[in-house]
Each structure stands twice: as structure tokens, then as C-alpha cells.
Amino acid sequence: SAASPTPSTGESHHSDAHGASESAVHVQDLHKCYGDLEVLRGIDLDVAPGEVVCLIGPSGSGKSTLLRCLNLLETPQRGTISVGGYTVTDPELDVDAMRRRVGMVFQQFNLFPHLSVLENCTVAQVKVLKRPAAEAKRVALANLERVGLNEKASQRPAQLSGGQQQRVAIARALSMDPELMLFDEPTSALDPETVGDVLAIMRGLAADGMTMLVVTHEMSFARDVADRVVFMDGGVVVEQGPARDVIGAPQHHRTRAFLSRVL
Ligand code: ADP
Ligand code: MG
């Protein structure tokens, strides 16, 4: 579609009709089904600007589906979502404009295998943001430096370790200047010795004030970095609060059962 490079006045920041302008993410009564299977069963969730929220819960509880609904990789059946002032569930939404605000990092990196590390970080800047090639390169190299990989700029993803590839995926997302970063188990596919490097990058991002929603099983990361931990099970938010409460002193038996398996 012929998306304009900047949002129109009607959908700019802090103009959300639902009064969610203080939230970076606002989710209300979200329902998602795959056929007869109701995977999200009425999710309410808010993320404030600059907040780091860790989403935890058993496999199959709907964490990935929730993240994918936020940037319309999945279409929910019911509920409202707004992200960065865009009402995602509005049929009139400029999907491309909304997605430009949201960076996503997947478990499996999803780098372009035939492109160099540098090209992975420039291609969307040029195609989507219409940045001149020289500027895109400068932004990409700055972000590769931020993740400690500017010396790998000319290599192909396959020449890097999993942890390095994931750091490139983070640099690629950051090169789009997102105001929100979604992470879906970013360290679950990594060799144990490379997990720490990726978590360190994420800690740095959090310290720099990035708004982050992170699905993770890394409880020490959640405990140290998250402003809030949200525990999901069976498509609902069972319990949420500061990490010291949810992880340190869970109130719900389902949270306790889950933590006893992962801690
Ligand atoms: P989590 O990320 O918490 O492990 P998911 O959101 O991936 O959970 O999955 C929640 C449920 O939805 C699971 O039962 C899964 O099998 C199902 N599911 C996920 N994606 C699809 C899909 N595209 N089609 C059908 N079922 C799906
Ligand atoms: Mg998942």
C-alpha cells in the first residue's frame, strides 16, 4: 500500500481515541482462536513508555500469539490493541506505519542468509524508511557497534555463532529506530555460552530506556531487569507485578507450579 512516511495527524502519538495515550502498549479483552482452539482468552495488558515487561509462562500458554497479535502477524477475533498511539485493531490502520515503530526479535533470528551482516541491517532502512544508502550504512554500523559486531559487517550470518546472529537481529531491529521492542524467547535457541552476551545487550537496551516486552525463561534476567513480570497460563494473565513479588513470592498456585519447574 502507498503508506505515507509519517503518520497522519489522526493517528499520531497521544491521540488514541481510547484514552491509552500514556501506554506504549494497551491490550484490552484480547481473544484469539485457531479454529476451535481459543489460545488467548481475554488478555488485558499495558506497557508504559520505557517500561521493561517480562512475559513468562508454560509452553502453549499463548505468549508468542500475544506478541504476534501486537504487530498484526496474527489477527485477533476480539478486543482492542494499541501500540505507540496506533489502534492496531482499527480496520483503517496503516499496518506498515505501525510496524515501523515495533522491532521484533525471534527465537530463530530470521536473518536473511544471502545478505551480509551489514546488508541485513540496511535493507529495511532503505526499502521501508527510504533512507539514503549512506545514512542507512552509518546507522547500521552504529547499531552493530552497539552489539559489539561492527567487525563482522561483511560476513554472512552462517559464519557467525547463534549468539552473534541474535545480536545482529537486535542491531537490525534497532536500525529502524523502533519505539518498542518485542522479544520472543531470544535466547532459547542459543548455546549456553552465548546466552550471556545477548542478555547483556538487552540489559543495555533496558538501561537506555527502551520499551521492551520480553518473552523469556531467563528468570534471573526477569528478576534483575524487568519492571514488571506477567505470568500467563492457558491464554489468560494469571498474575503480574514486580519481579520480586511474582518470582519471589507468587500468589497463585499455577505461578508457583510453573516457577518450581523452571527455577
Ligand atoms: P507459547 O508461545 O506460550 O508457547 P503459542 O502462542 O505459541 O504459546 O501457542 C499457544 C497455542 O496455540 C498452542 O496450543 C499452539 O499449539 C497453538 N497455536 C499457535 N500457533 C498456531 C497456529 N498458527 N495454528 C494453530 N494453532 C496454533
Ligand atoms: Mg512461544
Residues near ion ligand 2 (CB < 5 Å) are 64
How far is residue 203's CA from residue 59's CA, in Å, rounded to a whole number? Answer: 24
Q: 179 CA distance to ligand 1 centroid (A)? A: 26
pLDDT of res. 14: 40
pLDDT of res. 21: 55
pLDDT of res. 22: 80
Q: In what order do the strands lie in the sheet with 102-105?
A: 102-105, 180-184, 211-215, 52-56, 228-233, 236-241
Q: Is the CB–ligand 1 distance for residue 61 below 6 Å?
A: yes
pLDDT of res. 76: 95
Q: Is the CB–ligand 1 distance for residue 65 below 6 Å?
A: yes
How far is residue 192's CA from residue 210's CA, in Å, rounded to a whole number? Answer: 25
Q: What is the ipTM of this complex?
A: 0.98
pLDDT of res. 242: 97
Q: 150 CA distance to ligand 1 centroid (A)? A: 36
pLDDT of res. 18: 45
* Site of grid cell 544508502: 133
How far is residue 199's CA from residue 222's CA, in Å, rounded to a whole number? Answer: 10
Alpha-helix residue ranges (DSSP H) falling in 60-116: 63-70, 95-100
How far is residue 141's CA from residue 153's CA, in Å, rounded to a whole number? Answer: 8
pLDDT of res. 1: 38
* Site of grid cell 506498515: 96
Judge whether 180 and 27 are in contact, CB under 8 Å. no
Q: 224, 221, 132, 138: which is closest to 175 by C-alpha?
A: 138
Q: Which ligand is nearest to the CA of 63?
A: 1
Judge whether 235 and 62 are in contact, CB under 8 Å. yes
Q: Is the CB–ligand 1 distance for residue 64 below 6 Å?
A: yes
**pLDDT tens over the chain, length 263 residues:** 344 444 433 333 444 444 445 899 999 999 999 999 999 999 999 999 999 999 999 999 999 999 999 999 999 999 999 998 899 999 899 999 999 999 999 999 999 999 999 999 999 999 999 999 999 999 999 999 999 999 999 999 999 999 999 999 999 999 999 999 999 999 999 999 999 999 999 999 999 999 999 999 999 999 999 999 999 999 999 999 999 999 999 999 999 999 999 98
How far is residue 169's CA from residue 193's CA, in Å, rounded to a whole number? Answer: 18
Q: 152, 233, 222, 181: which is closest to 70 by C-alpha?
A: 181
* Site of grid cell 538501561: 207
pLDDT of res. 12: 39
Q: State pTM to two decimals.
A: 0.92
> What are the two backbone dihedrals, phi and then psi, of residue 149, each rounded to the nearest 5 degrees?
-130, 20
